[in-house]
């Protein structure tokens, strides 16, 4: 088991523990360092083991140093190398994505003999780079770093907002500083760059004036907001009460053209859940669906009757939340008569999992059905 030292005991480390704690089980943690004197002596628990924060010291430099901060990585790395007592080289210091190094090696081993060209391109990239959520998309990080959002505060709503494609977009109360709002929107923007596996833009999947658009798992609503001026009707499905509050402000200018359904999209209909068949009516036939519903996509689609009907219908469904979802969703759509394809590239979905999960996942499945003439 590889020995590591974690450099940085602040919010960045706490984020890694809160989100990816299971991945630390792949390493022998020899200590936690921080240059901040106020952190010295603090106790931090990782996987049930307590570590006392120390100042960087040469007595423990016999392993890789993982810098927990992404924002200050370069500056911290320089300071560590300049510290002559530590005698560290460039190769000793790792980015925080190095915590996924063990699972990366397992992925390489799993797919090394796969004949698919896109798989081999991905594996060749991983041999020389850290594992990231969007694999082999250097433009993603550049987009996050180089994009700026001007953030304002609505005194009446008591919510922060910015502009998305020239339109006001509100964020929920959790995003209660300008920086939090800006960071959130920068990541959403970066997800939609051309080479991103999570990009919803695809030739043949544009909306038209007669479309009834369902945005399931709407969150802040950027997908629908970009298209609301074109389509006939928008139905936003979102269970999170705080997102619903923000959506009401974002889409207030559009009146009855936008309907907000404060439920989960599912295969059952009750007080908390709604089905696609329930929303599809003769007066309002659904023609376009975007789904990002945290792994509920398979259930929401598998029993839906209207997707089997002879009509024009386009679906973009997220496929990365659970292993094999992409195959299940593609099969459901193919059996219903859709032409389908995946978005290009692969994601490593690392939320709530550990290094036992070693599959590469397509982010989206695109499905299109054309009404028979």
- Tally the domains of the chain: 2
CA distances from 361 to 238, 263, 355 (A): 25, 27, 15
pLDDT digits (tens, 9 = 90+) for 75-97: 999 999 999 889 899 999 999 99
Residue 352 pLDDT > 70, yes or no?
A: no
> 97 and 242: one domain?
no
Per-residue pLDDT band for 71 (boundaries 50, 70, 90) equals confident
1-5, 144-148, 223-227: least confident range:
144-148
Tell whether 156 is covered by a domain: yes
Q: Provide the mean pLDDT of the chain.
A: 94
> 81 and 204: one domain?
no
Per-residue pLDDT band for 183 (boundaries 50, 70, 90) equals very high
Percent of the chain's residues with pLDDT above 70: 98
Per-residue pLDDT band for 15 (boundaries 50, 70, 90) equals very high
**What is the average pLDDT across 105-132?**
95
Per-residue pLDDT band for 58 (boundaries 50, 70, 90) equals confident
Percent of the chain's residues with pLDDT above 90: 86
> 322 and 217: one domain?
yes
Residue 61 pLDDT > 80, yes or no?
A: no
Q: Which of 102, 132, 157 is the last residue of a domain?
A: 102
Burial of 166 (0-12, 13-18, 19+ CB in 10 A): exposed
pLDDT digits (tens, 9 = 90+) for 297-314: 999 999 899 999 899 999
Per-residue pLDDT band for 353 (boundaries 50, 70, 90) equals low
Tell whether 258 is covered by a domain: yes
In the prediction, which pLDDT does 356 show? 77
Per-residue pLDDT band for 162 (boundaries 50, 70, 90) equals very high
User: What token pair was written down for 219?
Assistant: 């969150």
pLDDT digits (tens, 9 = 90+) for 34-47: 999 999 999 999 99
> 98 and 178: one domain?
no
Q: Which of 102, 135, 155 is the last residue of a domain?
A: 102
């Amino acid at each position: 088991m590889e020995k590591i030292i974690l450099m940085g005991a602040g919010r960045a480390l706490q984020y890694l523990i809160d989100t990816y704690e299971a991945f630390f089980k792949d390493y022998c943690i020899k200590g936690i360092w921080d240059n901040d004197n106020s952190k010295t002596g603090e106790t931090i628990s990782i996987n049930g083991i307590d570590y006392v924060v120390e100042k960087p010291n040469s007595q423990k430099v016999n392993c890789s140093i993982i810098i927990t901060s992404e924002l200050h990585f370069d500056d911290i790395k320089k300071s560590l190398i300049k510290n002559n007592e530590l005698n560290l080289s460039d190769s000793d210091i790792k980015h925080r994505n190095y915590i996924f190094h063990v699972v990366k090696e397992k992925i390489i081993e799993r797919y090394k003999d796969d004949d698919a060209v896109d798989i081999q391109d991905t594996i060749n990239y991983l041999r020389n780079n850290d594992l990231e959520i969007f694999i082999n998309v250097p433009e993603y990080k550049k987009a996050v770093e180089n994009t700026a959002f001007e953030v304002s505060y609505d005194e009446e709503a008591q919510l922060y907002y910015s502009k998305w494609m020239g339109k006001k977009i509100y964020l929920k109360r959790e995003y209660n500083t300008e920086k939090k709002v800006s960071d959130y929107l920068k990541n959403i923007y970066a997800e939609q760059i051309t080479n991103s596996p999570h990009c919803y833009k695809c030739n043949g999947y544009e909306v038209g004036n007669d479309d009834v658009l369902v945005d399931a798992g709407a969150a802040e609503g950027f997908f629908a907001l970009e298209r609301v001026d074109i389509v006939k009707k928008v139905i936003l499905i979102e269970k999170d009460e705080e997102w619903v509050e923000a959506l009401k402000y974002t889409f207030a200018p559009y009146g009855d053209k936008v309907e907000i359904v404060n439920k989960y999209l599912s295969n059952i209909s009750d007080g908390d859940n709604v089905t696609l068949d329930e929303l599809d009516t003769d007066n309002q036939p659904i023609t376009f669906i975007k789904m990002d519903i945290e792994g509920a996509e398979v259930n929401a689609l598998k029993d839906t009757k209207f997707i089997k009907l002879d009509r024009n219908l386009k679906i973009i469904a997220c496929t990365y939340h659970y292993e094999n979802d992409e195959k299940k969703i593609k099969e459901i759509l193919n059996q219903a008569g859709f032409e389908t394809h995946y978005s290009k590239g692969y994601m490593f979905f690392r939320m709530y999992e550990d290094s036992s999960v070693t599959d590469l996942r397509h982010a989206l499945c695109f499905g299109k059905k054309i009404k028979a003439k």
